[in-house]
Structure 1
Amino acid sequence: MTIALETRGLEKSFGGLRVTRDLSLKVEQGARHALIGPNGAGKTTVINLLTGVLKPNAGRILLEGNDITDLAVHKRVLRGLSRTFQINQLYADLTPLETVGLAVSERLGRGGDWWRRMGTRDDVNQEIAETLGRFHLLDVMNERTATLPYGKQRLLEIAVAIATKPRVLLLDEPAAGVPESERHDILAAVAALPRDVTVLLIEHDMDLVFSFADRISVLVNGAMLVEGPPDEVARDPQVKAVYLGEAVHA
């Protein structure tokens, strides 16, 4: 078993409030791993710790066996760790073509020269087109992001994350706020993510969680409650009591 991402005894407090409590989590290489829990469980705090947005009070974070606890956000991206956000962080005035083009050029170390690179490098242009096509964005690639349906914006954010060529991808509620009519494309995009990318998913939509994950960790009050395969988690009486409810079945 190769571990792609690991936390050891992770702790985070805000004043006297302990948000993450002695959290030890292992995400296997190539896994589809979901982190779930009720509102206020500390899930997004964990993502912010993993990505370097927040610094832990105690504990360590390892990416592919290397300690990244003190690395800056951009250095973690360069190491192969990328994420999406609950609320998208896209540039409203750029088009999907420009946004993905910028992400690809930044990865290649030519972010300030991205227009020229897009125009002169066939391999870069092909990668941009393939990424837009994979996420059903070719038909809107020249429209301003601010004008896109929200489902398309969520797809674009996943596309940008994939354009950084991550080995580990953190998806923070990719279907949040997406109308029911647009959710199919989100679910399909998540399901079709390349298998060489390890995925840690945070999501409230249990249909998405149980259709996607091969392992689930349940977080309650910042601590691990239960962890295991989806069918075992769905049957666990503690999980039913605190989160899933009796109506959920594997």
Structure 2
Amino acid sequence: MTTVLETRNLRKDFGALKATQDVSFRLEAGARHALIGPNGAGKTTFINLLTGVLKPTSGEIFLNGDDITSVRRDRRVARGLVRTFQINQLFGKLNVAESIGLVISERRGHGRDWWRFAGKLPGIADEIAQLATDFGLDSVLDQPCAGLPYGKQRLLEIALAIAAKPKVLLMDEPAAGVPEADRHEVLDRISALPSDVSILLIEHDMDLVFNFASRISVLVGGALFAEGTTAEIANDPRVREVYLGGGDE
């Protein structure tokens, strides 16, 4: 299979703290891959390195075979590496339609004066409508993002990521904080994401992980501890001991 995202001996030190320890990782084309580990394992640090929020102490990052270790964050997005956040990052004063239109306009090269183009360029209105339908947001298009129920906010952030037309999507705990009543909708929308988008999911919800992922990597203490299929990870006694609740009773 084709590798779309790869790290080689990726390391990040914060003084004496080794947050990421020589992680060599591959994400395959079309993957549904989960990254799990106990609190403090370095999962979000790893995502921040991949997206350019943090600079690695050493090691390399490759996207579709190109070295992007020193590429700026915005250029990584332009190359197709997109993320969602553990805590929503939305345009609070814009409404849902405006938010989606802004991302589409930015993707088309009109981000600086997007308001002139959002309703005029061919296809933008149709794309906004389609994304809103795909993510259950068609009934709230005119509502400000800050006033949306939290479940809808999570769906909107995923919709904004997809509006950027990613090749690789990094999702940092997309179900975190979602009320139980809205949880199934969020999980269903995640399961229906386009199959040509390669996805790396960070998540503590094991139901979501095992229902979504076909492959799982486990980080412990900033190092890659185990990797395999969902069945292999679920049955690995070392993983069960450090993360999934211990060994056999």
Give the TM-score normalised by structure 2: 0.97
Task: Tell me whether 1:227 sits opposite 2:227 in the alignment.
Answer: yes
- The offset of 1:247, in angstroms, is 8.8
- The offset of 1:113, in angstroms, is 2.9
Aligned to 2:35: 35
Structure 2 Cα separation of the partners of residues 63 and 193 of structure 1: 20
Deviations 1:29-54 (A, max 9, x none): 10000000000000000000000000
- The offset of 1:120, in angstroms, is 1.8
Structure 2 Cα separation of the partners of residues 134 and 117 of structure 1: 23
- The offset of 1:241, in angstroms, is 0.2
For 1:120, what is the secondary structure of its paired residue? coil
Task: Tell me whether 1:111 sits opposite 2:99 in the alignment.
Answer: no
- The offset of 1:68, in angstroms, is 0.3
Deviations 1:117-137 (A, max 9, x none): 222234111111111111100
Q: Is the Cα–Cα contact under 8 Å of residues 85 and 171 in structure 2 kept in the other structure?
A: yes
Q: Is the Cα–Cα contact under 8 Å of residues 80 and 167 in structure 2 kept in the other structure?
A: yes
Structure 2 Cα separation of the partners of residues 121 and 74 of structure 1: 23
- The offset of 1:246, in angstroms, is 4.9
Q: Is the Cα–Cα contact under 8 Å of residues 237 and 247 in structure 2 kept in the other structure?
A: no
Structure 2 Cα separation of the partners of residues 116 and 48 of structure 1: 33
Aligned to 1:8: 8
- The offset of 1:176, in angstroms, is 0.6
Matches within 5 A, 1:29-68: 29-68=29-68
- The offset of 1:114, in angstroms, is 2.0
- CA root-mean-square deviation: 1.2
**Structure 1 letter corresponding to 2:52:** G
Q: Is the Cα–Cα contact under 8 Å of residues 233 and 239 in structure 2 kept in the other structure?
A: yes
Structure 1 Cα separation of the partners of residues 164 and 247 of structure 2: 39
Aligned to 2:189: 189
Deviations 1:177-212 (A, max 9, x none): 111111111101110000010000000000000000
Return closer, same or farther for 1:126/1:137 CA change in 2, 3 Å cut-off. same
For 1:118, what is the secondary structure of its paired residue? coil
Task: Tell me whether 1:206 sits opposite 2:206 in the alignment.
Answer: yes
**Structure 1 letter corresponding to 2:5:** L
Deviations 1:140-161 (A, max 9, x none): 1111111111010010000000
Deviates more, 1:40-49 or 1:128-137: 128-137
Task: Give the percent of matched residue pairs that are identical in Structure 1 and Structure 2.
Answer: 61
Structure 2 Cα separation of the partners of residues 14 and 98 of structure 1: 39
For 2:7, what is the secondary structure of its paired residue? strand
Deviates more, 1:152-161 or 1:237-246: 237-246
Task: Tell me whether 1:141 sits opposite 2:138 in the alignment.
Answer: no
The count of aligned residue pairs is 248
Deviates more, 1:53-62 or 1:181-190: 181-190
**Structure 1 letter corresponding to 2:160:** V
Structure 1 Cα separation of the partners of residues 145 and 76 of structure 2: 26
Structure 2 Cα separation of the partners of residues 39 and 73 of structure 1: 26
Matches within 5 A, 1:165-184: 165-184=165-184
**Structure 2 letter corresponding to 1:3:** T
For 1:92, what is the secondary structure of its paired residue? coil
Task: Tell me whether 1:85 sits opposite 2:85 in the alignment.
Answer: yes
Q: Name stretches of at least 5 consecutive residues in structure 1 with no aligned partner.
A: none
